[in-house]
Chain A
């Protein structure tokens, strides 16, 4: 079974500073990788995904992530954060279960707090 490790449970950062949220996954032949964002009392919103092709993936709200197969990492970055980016971010991997399901395995989440 796949596993996902998000190394930081909380990340405080000043407004307009850059941020990197780290994610590592357990190795597999092929994986599909995702970042989701969850605002308070809301569901999960898809930020970006890596399925194949270019290892640098751009998503919504100015976020991007880089797939690194040798390091089994998929770190999320943003060059300049806004107050509105304060939320919890989840890294996830989708792996074919063999029973037809591409269920997501999530990391524990990283709470990003943007400080004015």
Chain B
């Protein structure tokens, strides 16, 4: 079946611009996670959605980062006023069970802020 998809695969933006990254989870998966992968920090948790519950935003690095999940499916991660340190690969993952049994990752969006 179809896996997790993310778009765009690559995004180059100028410092100060806003960007939106999209994630389509595996159909039927109720849990959705965003992670960031950068050379300096490795893989870091950003935010978690589970059904209609309030999201766990504890990993968001600043208030420039936000995310939403519409209809319990597609999610959008928004970064406002991008900075060079935001350059990274943003990975989305979904899980049928809340995540404890393993998460299934998309191919990621490589964001470059110039």
List A residues at the B interface (Cβ < 8 Å). 32, 34, 36, 42-46, 49, 51, 90, 92, 94, 96-97, 99-109
Q: Interface size bucket, B side?
A: 20 to 34
Shortest B62–chain A CB gap in Å is: 18
The distance in angstroms between the C-alpha atoms of A107 and B44, with both chains bound, is 10
With A100-B50, A109-B42 known, 16 other A-B pairs at CB within 8 A are: A32-B101, A36-B105, A43-B4, A44-B105, A45-B105, A94-B99, A97-B48, A100-B56, A101-B45, A101-B48, A101-B58, A102-B31, A102-B98, A103-B45, A104-B99, A105-B45
Chain B 88-109, CB-CB to A under 8 Å as 1, else 0, gives 0001010100111111111110
Q: Do A97 and B42 touch across chains, with their CB atoms under 8 A apart?
A: no
The distance in angstroms between the C-alpha atoms of A59 and B50, with both chains bound, is 27
Shortest B14–chain A CB gap in Å is: 24
Nearest neighbor of B108 in chain A, beta-carbon distance:
A43
Q: Do A42 and B56 touch across chains, with their CB atoms under 8 A apart?
A: no
The distance in angstroms between the C-alpha atoms of A44 and B107, with both chains bound, is 7
The distance in angstroms between the C-alpha atoms of A60 and B59, with both chains bound, is 30
Q: Do B108 and A99 touch across chains, with their CB atoms under 8 A apart?
A: no
List B residues at the A interface (Cβ < 8 Å). 4, 31, 33, 35, 42-43, 45, 48, 50, 53, 56, 58-59, 91, 93, 95, 98-108
Enumerate chain A residues within 8 angstroms of B42, measured Cβ to Cβ. 106-109
A-B contact list, 13 entries, CB within 8 Å? A43-B106, A44-B91, A44-B105, A96-B100, A97-B48, A101-B45, A101-B48, A102-B99, A103-B45, A103-B99, A107-B42, A109-B42, A109-B43
Shortest B71–chain A CB gap in Å is: 19
Enumerate chain A residues within 8 angstroms of B56, measured Cβ to Cβ. 97, 99-101, 103
Shortest A76–chain B CB gap in Å is: 15
Q: Do A42 and B98 touch across chains, with their CB atoms under 8 A apart?
A: no
Enumerate chain B residues within 8 angstroms of A106, measured Cβ to Cβ. 42-43
Q: Do B91 and A103 touch across chains, with their CB atoms under 8 A apart?
A: no
